[in-house]
Each structure stands twice: as C-alpha cells, then as structure tokens.
Amino acid sequence: MSQQAIKIGRNNKNTIIIEHSKVGREHAVIIKIGETEYLIKDLDSTHGTFVDSNRIKQTQITAESKIQLADFELDTKLILSKLNSPDFKKQIKYSDLLQQKELIEKFLDLENIYEQYKKNKRKIERGGGLKKTGLRAALSLIPFAGNAIGIMAGGALDSRKRIDELNEEFKKKYVCPKCFKHFGQEPFENIKKRGYCFYCKTKWTL
C-alpha cells in the first residue's frame, strides 16, 4: 500500500509546487503516520527545512508546527488539510492552493449569510403576524373600525417591503464566491454536500 504523503518542491515531480528560488527542486516530504500524526523529512535540500525555527533532517509535526522551506513559510494547516483530502495526490501549485483556501473560506461564510437570512425572514413574518393579531384584538374594542383596517393593511405592506429588501440583499450576498451567481433558496447544507458550484463547477474542497 502506498504511503499517504506529499512531496513539496520547485519542480513538477512534486505534489505541491512552490515557485521560490531558495526552495529546492524536491525539497521535503510530509508523511501521515497516524490519525493526527505527521512526519516531515528534508530531502537533502541546500537551504534546509525548519520546524519551529530549528533546522531538521526529519521530525514529527502537528498542525501547530511552524514549517519553513529555506525562508519560505508554509501554511501548515493548509498542507495537512491537503494531505487529508481524498485528492491528496493531485498536483497543485502552492499559490493555487492558497487561492483555493481563500475560496473555501468565502464559501463557508455563506452558512452564516443563509442562517441570518432565514432568521430575519422568520422574524419579519412573525412580527407582521403579531401586529395583525394585536390589531385584530384592538379592533373589537373600537367602534369605528374603518381606520384600524387601514393601519392593518399598512403593517402588512411594511413587512412585505422589508422582506423584499431582505431578498434583494440575500440575492447579492448568497452567491458563488467564484462566478457570483445567486444560489437561490437552496439550503447551505445542500450546496456544501454537493461540493461544487452548480453553475461554474468550482469545488469547495482541496
């Protein structure tokens, strides 16, 4: 069985390619050795591999370790996420990996946007309902109910307007971070589970 490992360096034999002059052609390898245990090995690089500022030949690391290839600092959590992804063998430039991370972060922000939208919508709808019930109760006490019916219709219009505004804002914010198309009313969980944008096919995974 092949090892779950990621080779990092400047040439295209690596899983992660870093275009930086001091990074070696094949600089280092990170190997998964346990559920949350990893090993980093320097591949006889000229400028060295450093973990928490100590030059190493090989050592165990965690997500908290600070890793540098020469003077180039890696995003350790990002590298380990890549190593733990089903696509860990898929070659990628480090700069593209960083872009992918940014995209995923933006995508994950949509969960909050979706939840807030649902919450605010419920609040407006419930608020409108309460107002109507209150007015209806008041109506029975007022001899000249004509005016009150006018006020009641006004309240309903007001909440309709607020929902329209909320929908407008939601349309602008609940969008694919890559192609900016609106996801409509599809719940965040569904889009996350699908793993990619229905329109531009961009993936939310590493």
* Minimum gap (Å) between residue 186 Cβ and Zn ion: 13
Q: Rule CB under 5 A: say whether 197 interacts with Zn ion.
A: yes
Region near Zn ion per CB under 5 A, out of 27-35, 104-112, 130-138, 189-197? 189-197
Q: Reduced to 3 states, what is the DSSP secondary structure of residue 143?
A: coil
β-bridge pairing 28-32 and 49-51: unpaired
Q: Find the binder of Zn ion among 72, 88, 196, 199 (CB under 5 A).
A: 199
Distance CA 67, CA 75 (A): 8
Fill in the per-residue mask, 129 to 168: x = in contact with Zn ion (CB under 5 A), - = not in contact: ----------------------------------------
Distance CA 205, CA 82 (A): 9
Q: Rule CB under 5 A: say whether 8 interacts with Zn ion.
A: no
**Amino acid letter for position 40:** I
Distance CA 75, CA 60 (A): 16
Q: Find the binder of Zn ion among 17, 79, 124, 176 (CB under 5 A).
A: 176
- Count the neighbouring beta carbons within 10 Å of the beta carbon of residue 43: 16
Distance CA 43, CA 23 (A): 11
Taking a C-beta distance cutoff of 8 angstroms, is the pair 32, 5 a contact?
yes
- Of residues 88 and 199, the one with the C-beta less far from Zn ion: 199
- Of residues 113 and 163, the one with the C-beta less far from Zn ion: 113
Q: At what angle are helices 94-139 and 145-173 packed, to 10 degrees?
A: 180
Q: Find the binder of Zn ion among 46, 142, 179, 189 (CB under 5 A).
A: 179
* Minimum gap (Å) between residue 180 Cβ and Zn ion: 7
Q: Find the binder of Zn ion among 178, 182, 192, 203 (CB under 5 A).
A: 178
- The closest alpha carbon to 92, from 22, 154, 153, 12, belongs to 12
* Minimum gap (Å) between residue 94 Cβ and Zn ion: 23
Fill in the per-residue mask, 55 to 94: x = in contact with Zn ion (CB under 5 A), - = not in contact: ----------------------------------------
Residues found near Zn ion in the complex (CB under 5 A): 176, 178-179, 197, 199-200
